[in-house]
Amino acid sequence: MTAVPAADFRQNYIAAYVVKDGKATEIALYIKNMTENEREIVQAGCLTNFNRKRK
């Protein structure tokens, strides 16, 4: 699987890692299609940060 930068939410899947007993296992996380506004909120980290930037 090719890793997708965390900020690139235009992809349907992003790479993530589960760490257990010192071993990292790569998994794919599915992300539903999002509107441009939803992507901006996720990229801001949370709705509070998104709203703070809008002022």
What pLDDT digit, counting tens, does each position of 2-55 carry? 544 555 556 778 788 999 999 999 999 888 888 888 888 888 888 888 888 877
Q: Which residue in 52, 28, 30 sits closest to 41, CA to CA?
A: 52
User: How do the domains of the chain map onto residue ranges?
Assistant: 13-54
Instruction: Enumerate the β-bridge partners of residue 14.
Output: 29
Contact 47, 37 (CB under 8 A): no
Residue whose structure tokens are 């909120």: 41
Residues 28, 29, 30, 35: is their CA dihedral positive or negative? negative
pLDDT at 13: 81
pTM here is: 0.49
